Amino acid sequence: MKAKMKGTFLAALMGISALVLGACEPLLFLDPKGPQAQRQADDTMLLIYVMSAIVLVVLVILAVMLVKYRASKQRPDYEPPHIEGSVLIEAICIGIPVIIVIFLSVVSVKSNYIVEAVPQGYEDTEPLVVYASSSNWKWHFSYPEEDIETVNYLFIPAGRAIEFRLYSYGPITSFWIPQLGGQKYAMADMETTLHLAADKPGEFMGRNGNFSGVGFAENTFNVKAMPQAEFDEWVEEVHATAEPLTEEKFEELLEPGHLGTSTYTGTHLEFSPSPGKHSSHSVKDPDAEEHSSH
């Protein structure tokens, strides 16, 4: 008996310790640093509150039912009374779940439209376009306007909308910066768009959120949001110090494996266009052909 009590005590102690240690560092997606992430964090907390309320009500009803209708000693010839169905109870049991589902559906659909658009508050600013492509097991960030490219790290200006164009040179990956917004797939031969923004300067963690092979766990990258002036200085420094990215070097970078961070002038988009650019170039303009023939 003592051994059993000791085991129960140790199990409870381990459970409490796990909860305390888990609370030492907050979940990153619940510590938002941008409007998209804030919306998703708010929706997550709303879901937690709704589910907690449902669980609490069910537990209270369960306790009442166990106490009120618990088994008791009755005479041998006891017969329970015949009770007809209650329209009110059936309406409550069916109606409340329907209302909850409708409410959460409206919130989810509205949020989907919000997070897929330019972040709220940044509609009048020109977004910074960054092509984020993945390979086994690296992330390549191309800045076509700045004519630079980085590997496994991302610098962005704070207070400005960022438009990511996502695709992959390997298996399907998922681009995810938890404190700035939700994840979105990067696929071969297809370009997807993700709108994010960092409200203030800071450093964040980014990673591939989709299992893509043995190197998946280390398929991460660092993100730093900085004031626009500091970002411009960084761009100038890259052009003054970094080596150009050649096609041969890019092919070397695509080889499976893990690398540190690196920086180049120029982008691979010049000799290896994104799927979106490739598809747009493949469509011929009949008017342009007619003018060129003249």
> For the whole model, what pTM was predicted?
0.78
Backbone angles phi, psi at 179, to 5 degrees: -80, -5
Rounded to whole angstroms, the Cα distance separating 9 from 266 reads: 62
Domain assignment of residue 179, yes or no: yes
Q: What pLDDT digit, counting tens, does each position of 88-137 carry? A: 888 988 999 999 999 999 999 999 999 999 999 999 889 999 999 999 99
Q: How many residues does the chain have?
A: 294
Among 26, 35, 27, which Cα is nearest to 199's? 35
Domain assignment of residue 192, yes or no: yes
For 33, half-sphere exposure in the C-beta direction (CA atoms, 13 angstrom radius) is: 20
Total number of domains constituting the chain: 1
Sequence-distant (6+) residues with CB within 8 A of 78 are: none
List, in sequence order, the alpha helices (H) in 87-193.
87-116
Q: What pLDDT digit, counting tens, does each position of 62-86 carry? A: 999 888 877 777 777 878 778 778 8
Domain assignment of residue 152, yes or no: yes
Domain assignment of residue 208, yes or no: yes
Domain assignment of residue 265, yes or no: yes
Domain assignment of residue 259, yes or no: yes
81 DSSP 8-state letter: P
Residue 23 has pLDDT above 50, yes or no: no
User: For the ranges 19-33, 38-52, 129-143, which has the lowest average pLDDT?
Assistant: 19-33
pLDDT-derived band of residue 40, with 50, 70 and 90 as boundaries? Answer: very high
Residue numbers of the domain that contains 269:
128-281
Rounded to whole angstroms, the Cα distance separating 146 from 154 reads: 13
Domain assignment of residue 256, yes or no: yes
| Token duo for residue 153 | 């790290």
Among 157, 108, 107, 166, which Cα is nearest to 134's? 166
Q: What pLDDT digit, counting tens, does each position of 192-249 carry? A: 999 999 999 999 999 999 988 888 888 999 999 999 999 999 999 999 999 999 999 9
**C-alpha 39: how far from its chain's center?**
12
Q: Do residues 215 and 203 make contact, with C-beta atoms less than 8 angstroms apart?
A: no
Domain assignment of residue 136, yes or no: yes
Average pLDDT over residues 42-71: 91
